Amino acid sequence: MCPVNSHNEWDPLEEVIVGIVDGACFPPWHVSVNAPLPAGKRDLFRANAGNPFPSDRIAAARAELDGLAHILEAEGVRVRRPEPQKQLLSYGAPGWTSTGLYDAMPRDVLLVIGNEVLECPLAWRSRYYGTSAFRPLLKEYFNAGAIWSAGPKPELPGEFYDDDWVEPLPGEPVRYVIKEFEPTFDAADFIRCGQDIFAQRSNVTNDFGIEWLRRHLGDRYRLHVLEFHDSHPMHIDATFMPLAPGKLLINPERVRTIPTLFKDWQILNAPPPVIPSDHPLYMTSGWVNMNVLMLDEERVLVERQDEPMIALMKVAGLKPVACNFRNFNTFGGSFHCATLDIRRCGRLQSYF
C-alpha cells in the first residue's frame, strides 16, 4: 500500500501531518507581505518585521496544535509532525536576503494529489525554504513508494513583484502583487474533488503557476479556475470548501455566483465569524472559521467556540468534532491550514 493516497477533502482520513508553531517569526517587510494582510495589521508587521512572534501567543497556539493531534489520534488517525527549523537564520538568493516565517501550515507549502506530494514554488521570500521542516517525512514517503516532486524553484527577483501595489478602492478590480515573471503557487489555493481540482489566482498564486500545475497533472485531472469577490485573495479554503459529495460550504460575502458544476449541490452559507474583535488575528480575517477539516463524509473538525458553525454542520447532517483552536487562528489559519492529509481511504473518481 502506498503511504500517500488522497484525492479529495472527505474520504476517511488515515494519516495526517499537523504543523508546528515553534520559533514562528514575523516575515521581513516586503510588498508581497503587504498585499494580502488585513489593512489594520500592516503597521504591526512592519514594526516587528524579522522578529519572533510573542512567546505567549506561540505557547497558546502550540498547546492547541498538540490538542488537535490528540483528538485526531483518538479518532483513529495517524499523526505526523515536522522538525522545527531556525526561522531567524538569514538566507538568500541573488539580489535578496530574508529570514523565515513558520512551519505551522503544511497545507500552504505541500500539495497532495493521489500518491504524489508536490513541493510548491512559493511567492514569499520568507517561505523560500518552507518545505524544509517536512523533508524527513517526504524522504520516508518516497522510500515507501510515493511520488515526490517539486515545482520550479523560483528566483523571486524584484521584477516579480509590483512595487507600486496599492489597496484597490471599493468596486475596483483586484490588483495582484505578483506578476507573471515565473510560476508560483501555494497549495492552499487549490481544492481537490477527485478528478476536478478548483483553483483561484491570488497574491501568491499566478496564472503561470496554475498553468504549470495543469500541465504537470496531465489529462487525468480537470483544473478549474474560479473567481471570487475578494480584494485580498490568498488561499481558497476560507472562501470555497467542498465538504463531501453534494455539500459545499461558501463564504457568502465572496462567492456571489455558484459555479455551474455545483448547481445540484447543497450550498451552505458560512455563518458570520464569532471571533471577538479584540482577538489578535495576524494574517487572516475572521472568515478563517470556514477552514474546517473533514475526517470523513460525516465527521468535521470545528472550532469549539464557534457555535453557529457547529449548528450549521449539524443541520447539514454532519457530525462536528469540537476542538479549541482560536489561539492558533491568530497565526493565520485553522484546521485545514494546519494539517495535510497524507492518506485517505479512497480512490480517484469524478463527482460531477
Q: How many Å apart are CA 303 and CA 206, to the nearest integer?
A: 31
CB burial class (10 A; 0-12, 13-18, 19+) of residue 135?
Answer: middle
7 is an active site residue: no
* Long-range interactions of 133-137: CB distance < 8 A, separation 24+: 133/20, 133/82, 133/83, 133/84, 133/85, 133/103, 134/17, 134/82, 134/103, 134/106, 134/109, 134/110, 136/82, 136/83, 137/17, 137/80, 137/82
Task: Note whether 18 and 201 are within 8 A (CB).
Answer: no
Beta bridge partners of 224: 198
323 is an active site residue: no
* Catalytic hit among 25, 120, 193, 337: 337
* Catalytic hit among 11, 22, 186, 230: 186
User: What DSSP state is assigned to residue 44?
Assistant: H
Q: How far apart are the first and last CA of the chain?
A: 28
* Catalytic hit among 7, 30, 232, 235: 235
Cα-based distances in Å from 302 to 38, 196, 204, 299, 321:
23, 25, 26, 10, 6
E strand or H helix that includes residue 73: helix 55-74
E strand or H helix that includes residue 138: helix 135-143
235 is an active site residue: yes
For residue 160 the three cell numbers come to 516579480
Say which amino acid occupies 59. Answer: A
Neighbours of 305 (CB within 10 A): 15
- Give catalytic residue positions: 186, 235, 337
